[in-house]
Amino acid sequence: MSKIWLITGASSGLGRIMTEDLLERGDKVVATIRRKDALTDLKREYGDRLIVMMLEMTDTVAIRSAVAGAFGHVGRIDVVVSNAGYGLFGAAEEVADADIDRQIATNLTGSIQLIRAVLPYLRQQGGGRIMQVSSEGGQIAYPNFSLYHTTKWGIEGFIESVAQEVAPFRIDCIIVEPGPTGTNFAAGMVHAAPMAVYDDTPAGAVRKAIDAGTFPINGDARRTVAAMIAAADSEKPPFRLPLGSKAYDNITRELASRLTSIETQRDVAYSADGKR
């Protein structure tokens, strides 16, 4: 049985590939984009099965209007894919105030407001599924990506809570955590003006690897999307979906390290309780 999807950030990358694959298999997609004509070829090929909307994720009023228009047009949406976002690249001291504001407004606040906007419609229709595209960077951190990680760690905390709030309404959530994947993500990054003082630091090392094209990218974009669609189709999807060997290895190693570190503090933690 075909599904109806709402996908943000469908102009390129994982959002574009997902839109292509879903249309090819016979589903219907409401796709939001920022670049006019980004999906003209798909619209020409698939006609009414693709609805394209222009949407700026920093505009809360526009998000609510787009969501209302999407549900008003198609009636029911089975899966909402919150995918829009980009990376701000630079050490915390290097990034500009305006770039920090836009990064948070797009990746974090925009995703939050999208989900808030769709919830009443999903409740009214008796359920649905929300897929939030995060990153391995929602569980681990690289130097030079501090503001990007801020948004990904933040949205994962938001989904952790929301998933519990809306489960009684037959709405479930999936957090997708891809590792470095062969998309145009790097081309879309906003780069801060580098400070020479960071050249010989971990931040500088990551910057050099990105600039030289030697930062390891293991993930295949089409296989990543295939796994995302399979998860969304499954009767009981995973709450978290790490994708790519690098994501799996990095996340499991970080979680194990974090647990070990916390366990050493057990006595101190218990000592902070009040007397019974």
> For residues 206 and 56, what is the distance between their CA atoms, to the nearest angstrom?
30
Angle (CA) 12-147-193 rounded to 5° is: 85
Calpha distance 264→211 (Å, rounded): 39
Torsion of CA 120, 228, 174, 186, to 10 degrees: -100
In this structure, what token pair is assigned to residue 186?
């790097």
Rounded to whole angstroms, how far apart are CA atoms 86 and 148? 8
Question: To which residue do tokens 């978290």 refer?
Answer: 240
DSSP state of 198: G
Catalytic (active site) residue 248: no
Answer for the pair 5, 29: CB distance below 8 angstroms, yes or no.
yes
Q: Name the 3-class secondary structure at 262.
A: helix
Name residue, tokens 């993500």: 185
User: In which residue are the tokens 């990064």 written?
Assistant: 103
- Spot the catalytic one: 46, 148, 248, 270: 148
Residues with a catalytic annotation lie at 148
